[in-house]
Amino acid sequence: MIEINKQARIKDGLVILAGVLMVTGYAPFSFLPSSIFALFALLWLLQNIGARRAAWRGFLFGLGLFGAGTSWVVISIHEFGHTPLPLALFLTILLVAYLSLFPALFAWLVVRFRVAEQPLVFLFMTPALWAGTEWLRGTLFTGFPWLNIGYSQVDTWLVGYAPVIGVYGLGFLLMLSVTATLLILRRKQSAVVLLAIIWFGGWSLQSIEWATPAGKSLQVSLMQGNVSQLDKFRPEKRANTMSLYEELTLDNLDSDLIVWPETAVPAFYHQVAENYISDILQQTREQGVDLLIGAPVKQVTADSERPNYYNSAIALGKEFGVYHKRHLVPFGEVVPFGDLLRKIGGIFNVPLSDFSTGGLQAPLNLAGQKAAVSICYEIVFGEELAQTAGDATMLINISNDAWFGDSLAPPQHFSMARMRVKETARPLLRATNTGITAFVDHRGVVTHQAPSFSVQVLRGSIQPMQGKTPYVRFGNTPILWLIGMLILVGGFILRRRQQGV
C-alpha cells in the first residue's frame, strides 16, 4: 500500500510538470513538441485510476499550466495595483485554482464515463470534452480564455484551420492528434491516416486566400511612448507624457494614419479636447493625416445618477468616431456587483475603477478604410472580434501591456492577437505603451516590430483586405455544434455498451 501511494504521488508530480511543460508551447517559446507531449502525458496519467483521482490530476495539470503561464498576474496586482505582496500572491493563487477547475472537470468526465474503453469514442469524445471545457472557461463569469491550447499552434500547420473553426477548433484538433497518437501506440494503425489528414489538411488550407485587397496600402505610424505605469496618471508627469505624443505625432505627418496606444492621454478626453487635441488636429488635418488615440471618456446622461466612464479609442481626422471598450477586465476595469458595494459604505466609488461597457459597435472610419478596433485584453475573444471584422478592412489593437512588466504576458498576448489575424484574414496594427508594437499582414506574418521598453515610432505600410472567412461568418457555432454532437453520440454509445446492449 505504501508503495502504491508513493507511485501515485510521483505521478501527481509528473502531471504538474506536464502542465508547466505545456507553457513552453506558447509564445515566446513556441516549442511545438512540448504541447503535444504535455497533453499526451496528461491522458497517459489518467489511465487506471478513479474519477476522483482523475479530477485531482486534472487540477494539478492546471496548477502547473496556469501557475507558470499566468504568474505575471502577481506583477499586475502587486507592483502596479499597489497590493501587498502576500495578498497579491493569495489572489493569484485563487485565480490559478479557479482556472485549474476546468482541466479537472475534463479529467473527471473522461474517467467517470470510461471514455477510454471504446477506441473510437476515446478518439473523438476526448478532444470534444477538452474543447468544451475550454469554451466554458472562456465564457463563464465574462471568461478568461488565456492559454487555450489552440494558441500554441499559431505558427504550425494546424493554424490553417483557424479561418474555418477558430482557436477552439484548433484546440480540438490538437487534442485529436494526441488521442490518435495514443491509439497508434496501442496498435490501432488506422489512426495514422487520420493524423495525416489533420496535419496535411491544415497545411493545404494555408494556401487559400480568404480575402482580397481593399484599395491601396496605407502608410502608418504606430506610437510607443514607453511611459512607466507608475508615472502614467501622476499629475506632475501628465505634461511630459502629452508633450511626448505630440512631438512624435508632428514628426510623422507624412503618414496616412497615426495610432497612439491605450490611454496614451492620461486625462479624460473632454479635459484636453479644446487645447491639446485641437492644436494637434489643426496640423494633422492640414496634412490629411488621420489619428487614432487612446483616452478615457466621461459621459453624463440625464437618466443616470452617476457618469459613465469608458476606456476608449477616438478617431480624429476626416471623420470623428469613438470606440468604447466592450469586454472589460473584472476588478481591473469593472467591479462586479459594484452598485451594491457602493451602497455599503461607498466603497469602490473611484471613477477609473469602474468603467462602463461599450457593447457591440461598428468599425471606425480611418484613412478611407474601416477598422475593427479592440482595446488590450478584449482581443483574446475571437468570437466578439469576428462580429465586426467582416465589415472592416483591418484590425487595430491598442494596448497598455506595461501592466504585465517584462513577463510572459506581452508575447502571449501578441500571439493571441495574431490568432485573430488568422481567423479573420485581416491585417493588424498594434500600438502599445511598452510593447509589443507591430504590423501583422493578413496572413499573420509579422512585418515590422518595435523593440519593447523603449520610445519608438514604428513606421510601415499595411494592405487593407476584404472578404469574409467562414469563422467571421459563423463564429464558434460550427465547432460548438461538433463538440456537442460528439459528446452526445459518444455518451450514447458508452451508455449502451455499459448496459450490455
What is the DSSP code (8-state) at residue 273? I
Q: Which residue has the cell 483591418?
A: 394
Q: Among 376, 384, 422, 423, which one carries the catalytic annotation?
A: 376
Residue matched to cell numbers 486566400: 209
Alpha carbon distance 328, 143 (integer Å):
10
Secondary structure (DSSP) of 430-480 = EEESSS--EEE-TTS-EEEEPPSSS-EEEEEEE--EE---HHHHHTTHHHH
CA distance linking residue 402 with residue 241, whole number of Å: 15
Residue 464 C-alpha cell reads as 487593407
Annotated active-site residue 376? The verdict is yes
For residue 270, the surrounding DSSP H or E stretch is helix 269-272
Q: Which of 218, 217, 181 has the alpha carbon at shortest distance from 196?
A: 181
> Exposed e or buried b for every residue in 369-408, given b needs 16+ CB within 10 A?
bbbbbbbbbbbbbbbbbbebbbebbbbbbbbbbbbbbebb
- Which of 11, 134, 232, 262 is catalytic? The answer is 262
Distances (CA, A) of 418 to 253, 438, 445: 28, 10, 8
Question: Helices 162-185 and 382-389, interaxial angle, to 10°?
Answer: 150
In one-letter notation, the amino acid at residue 176 is L
Cα torsion for 346, 347, 352, 355, to the nearest 10°? -80
Sign of CA dihedral 59, 60, 62, 67: positive
Q: Classify each residue of 184-196 as buried b or exposed e, where b means 16 or more C-beta atoms within 10 Å of its C-beta.
A: eeeebeebeebbe
Q: Within a 10 A sphere around the Cβ of 2, how many other Cβ atoms?
A: 6
- CB distance 333 to 355 below 8 Å: yes
C-alpha span between 284 and 381 (Å, rounded): 33
Comparing CA positions, the residue from 286, 295, 284 lying closest to residue 325 is 295
Q: Is 343 a catalytic residue?
A: no
Q: What grid cell was written down for 373?
A: 478596433
Active-site annotation holds for 378:
no
d(CA 52, CA 410): 36
Q: What is the CA radius of gyration of the chain?
A: 24
Pair 45, 16: CB distance under 8 Å: no
Q: Is the dihedral of CA 300, 301, 304, 305 positive or negative?
A: positive
The one catalytic residue in 11, 232, 325, 370 is 325
Torsion of the alpha carbons at 204, 32, 140 and 313, rounded to the nearest 10: -80
Q: Write out the catalytic residue numbers.
A: 262, 325, 376
